Amino acid sequence: MVKKIGILALQGNFQKHKLILDQLGVESTYVRYSSSLDDVNGLIIPGGESTTMTKLLDRSGLFESIVSFADKNPILGTCAGLIMMANNAMDDRVNTFKLLDIDIERNASGRQIDSLVESLTVSYDNIQKRIDATFIRAPKIIRHGKNVNVIAYYKGTPCAVKSGKHVGLSFHPELNGVSLFHEIAFNNIINNKEGLHAA
């Protein structure tokens, strides 16, 4: 069986993530039901609106399934996806997966009109790389635990973090065609594409 990445497709800009995975030569599929998680080896939680996402996850029965899935499989969350992965979203309307030991301030960067593209330095695994990142009503990481590895900062504040197998970003790399974080999160899947077919 070919290894596949799922993209949560309840809401938000999930199509752009598929384009990134296509560029990397990785199989992907949209996830809208719990049963879809049986066929994937990693999951992307895209941007969107975290309160709406919470309602849709509860309604679809996906919430508990994703928590279980995350025990064994990597998850990449961008913007609202980062909020959903946090320990605490500081908002009672948002029910989070508690996958990253971080506290989040939602919409910290203002309104949609305040969106911006910034150049960031990503430091990971002895590699430093400059990338462009689009911030749209971006959440702000206001606390992170000692087991959370910060791999990029924006104005002195963490904006890209990794903990265990999971990666969370306060920006949208997919809008700038940046595949680096997909490669970091799903490294084992991408680098083991050959010979993945079951006998």
pLDDT surpassing 70 at residue 74? yes
Q: DSSP 3-state assignment of 15? A: helix
Q: How many residues does the chain have?
A: 199
Residue 111 is predicted with a pLDDT of 53
Amino acid at 151: I
**Cα angle: 169, vertex 166, 4; to 5 degrees:** 105
174 given a catalytic annotation: yes
Residue 113 is predicted with a pLDDT of 45
Could you report the per-residue pLDDT of 3-47, keeping only the tens digit for each?
Answer: 899 999 998 889 999 999 999 999 999 999 999 999 999 999 999
Task: Categorize the per-residue pLDDT at 193 as very low, low, confident or very high, splitting at 50, 70 and 90.
Answer: low
182 given a catalytic annotation: no
Residue 12 is predicted with a pLDDT of 80
In words, the CATH class of domain 4-190 is: alpha beta
pLDDT surpassing 60 at residue 78? yes
144 given a catalytic annotation: no
Catalytic residue among 79, 144, 159, 182: 79
pLDDT surpassing 90 at residue 107? no
Most confident option among 47-56, 66-75, 111-120? 66-75
Task: Categorize the per-residue pLDDT at 109 as very low, low, confident or very high, splitting at 50, 70 and 90.
Answer: low
Q: DSSP 3-state assignment of 35? A: helix
Question: Tokens at residue 34, please?
Answer: 């719990």
Q: How many whole angstroms separate alpha carbon 27 and alpha carbon 196?
A: 12
> What is the β-pairing status of strands 86-88 and 100-105?
parallel
Could you report the per-residue pLDDT of 149-191, keeping only the tens digit for each?
Answer: 999 999 999 999 999 999 999 999 999 999 999 999 999 888 8
Residue 127 is predicted with a pLDDT of 86
Could you report the per-residue pLDDT of 111-124, keeping only the tens digit for each?
Answer: 554 578 999 999 99
Domain boundaries, the chain: 4-190
**Cα angle: 18, vertex 23, 25; to 5 degrees:** 95
Could you report the per-residue pLDDT of 125-159, keeping only the tens digit for each?
Answer: 888 999 999 998 889 999 999 999 999 999 999 99
Catalytic residue among 17, 49, 144, 174: 174
Give the mean model confidence (pLDDT) for residues 78-106: 95
Give the mean model confidence (pLDDT) for residues 54-63: 93
Among 45, 52, 50, smallest CA distance to 30 is for 45
Residue 110 is predicted with a pLDDT of 52
